[in-house]
């Protein structure tokens, strides 16, 4: 049966009106955070471009990051070192001719395999493959001799794998009456990934809601901890954050007060390979501590770390600083992102996989993190915790 043209047109108008009043506002509610994030990201890119002088042939921050990641992967496979010289402006923004002289001096000194480019925070860097600390310092000394550096620039020498020797100044020539030195520093901060706007927004919202909703549970757990063992309610331990920066991570105390001192006595009973320490029947755990650890309730105070920006809801679990120092070089890639409450390891592995596989899960997350992936991992964490899969 054919609908008359007049009635068909009126039906079409009503359908378009329905779509306009229902779907469009809902679509805008969904897309507006994404559009806002894109606008902020575009503004940041424009600001970074204007903050950097226009110089020919330099790598962009995105290209420089790819070069750094490539050299790190090559060093992990071949055990061959590489160095990075970073030049940081201070005392105001240096003039364009200062950068130009520095770039010209670097290009006259570096090899064909070396690269010069910008970092995201406005630093200029030179990547020197197959070069150790002494070789990097020699390059800096040669650049200083050409009077190419300026008192408005500071240089830092990074090497990978990092040196264990204490930082010492690198002598150089004079520039504007001052001697420019290059101090040694760890290379991990160069690989740090900044927190996306959507991720920080999700962290703040989740932490605030979690702390408010769970506050009655916090009171109950605090009373239970106090009544069952002597000592404070909370336990703070120094952990390695993004870029290897230490921070104090908080938990409900689930062990005796002298647990850290007694750890060295139990190292022979460690059930986790690698630098991490895991023990199923740990004698240091208190009576209420077994329940807190198996249900992961002891981890809830870390919502405060999330609110402070030291942690994220989703990210690699932070290791104690001593355990991080014992990680292999390639395993330190997990320090590229902000640590979190949960990640792939908590959902699919936990105490049932090797430490190397644990790190591979973290690296896989860092390379593919997204809003949708974070939401999925948060949802999958709930049944993993309730069913106590792999909990110790």
Q: What is the pLDDT of residues 58-78, one digit of tens each?
A: 999 999 999 999 999 999 999
Q: What is the pLDDT of residues 311-355, one digit of tens each?
A: 999 999 999 999 999 999 899 999 999 999 999 988 886 667 889
Angle between helix 215-228 and 197-213 (nearest 10): 60
Pick from 180-189, 212-221, 253-262, 275-284 the range whose average pLDDT is largest.
212-221
Residues 127 and 242 in one domain: no
Please indicate whether residue 44 or residue 266 has the higher confidence score (pLDDT).
266
Residues 182 and 224 in one domain: no
Q: 158: part of which helix (H) or strand (E)?
A: strand 153-160
Identify the three-state secondary structure at position 161.
Answer: coil
Residues 308 and 159 in one domain: no
Residues 201 and 182 in one domain: no
Q: Which of 141, 170, 191 is the last residue of a domain?
A: 191
Q: What is the pLDDT of residues 281-293, one digit of tens each?
A: 889 999 899 999 9
| Domain membership of residue 325 as a residue range | 197-386
Q: What is the CATH number of the domain that holds 90?
A: 3.30.70.270
Q: Which of 133, 168, 191 is the last residue of a domain?
A: 191
**What value does the CA radius of gyration of the chain take, rounded to a whole number of Å?**
27
Judge whether 9 lies within some domain: no
Judge whether 187 lies within some domain: yes
Q: Which of 157, 191, 225 is the last residue of a domain?
A: 191
């Amino acid at each position: 049966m054919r609908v008359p043209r007049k009635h068909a047109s009126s039906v079409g108008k009503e359908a378009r009106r329905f779509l306009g009043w229902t779907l469009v506002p809902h679509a805008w509610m969904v897309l507006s955070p994404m559009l806002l994030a894109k606008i902020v990201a575009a503004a940041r890119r424009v600001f970074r471009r204007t903050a950097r002088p226009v110089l020919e042939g330099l790598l962009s921050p995105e290209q420089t990051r790819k070069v750094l990641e490539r050299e790190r992967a090559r060093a992990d496979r071949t055990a061959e070192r590489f160095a990075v010289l970073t030049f940081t402006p201070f005392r105001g923004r240096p003039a364009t001719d200062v950068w130009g002289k520095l770039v010209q001096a670097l290009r006259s000194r570096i090899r064909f395999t070396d690269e010069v480019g910008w970092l995201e925070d406005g630093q200029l860097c030179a990547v020197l493959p197959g070069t150790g600390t002494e070789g990097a310092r020699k390059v800096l000394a040669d650049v200083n001799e050409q009077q190419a550096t300026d008192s408005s620039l500071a240089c830092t020498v990074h090497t990978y794998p990092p040196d264990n020797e204490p930082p010492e100044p690198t002598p150089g020539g004079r520039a504007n009456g001052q001697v420019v030195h290059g101090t040694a520093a760890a290379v991990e901060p160069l690989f740090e990934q900044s927190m996306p706007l959507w991720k920080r927004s999700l962290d703040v919202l989740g932490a605030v809601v979690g702390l408010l909703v769970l506050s009655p549970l916090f009171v109950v757990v605090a009373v239970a901890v106090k009544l069952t063992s002597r000592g404070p309610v909370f336990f703070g331990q120094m952990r390695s954050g993004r870029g290897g920066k230490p921070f104090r991570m908080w938990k409900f105390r689930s062990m005796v007060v002298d647990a850290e001192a007694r750890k060295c006595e139990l190292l022979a009973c460690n059930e986790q390979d690698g630098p991490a320490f895991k023990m199923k029947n740990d004698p240091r755990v208190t009576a209420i501590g077994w329940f807190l650890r198996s249900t992961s309730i002891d981890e809830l105070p870390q919502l405060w770390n999330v609110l402070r920006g030291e942690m994220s809801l989703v990210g690699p679990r932070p290791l104690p600083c001593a355990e991080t120092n014992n990680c292999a070089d390639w395993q330190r890639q997990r320090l590229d992102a902000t640590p979190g409450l949960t990640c792939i390891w908590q959902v699919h592995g936990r105490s049932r996989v090797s430490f190397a596989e644990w790190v591979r899960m973290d690296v896989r997350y860092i390379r593919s993190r997204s809003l949708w992936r974070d939401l999925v991992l948060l949802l999958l964490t709930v049944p993993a915790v309730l069913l106590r899969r792999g909990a110790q």
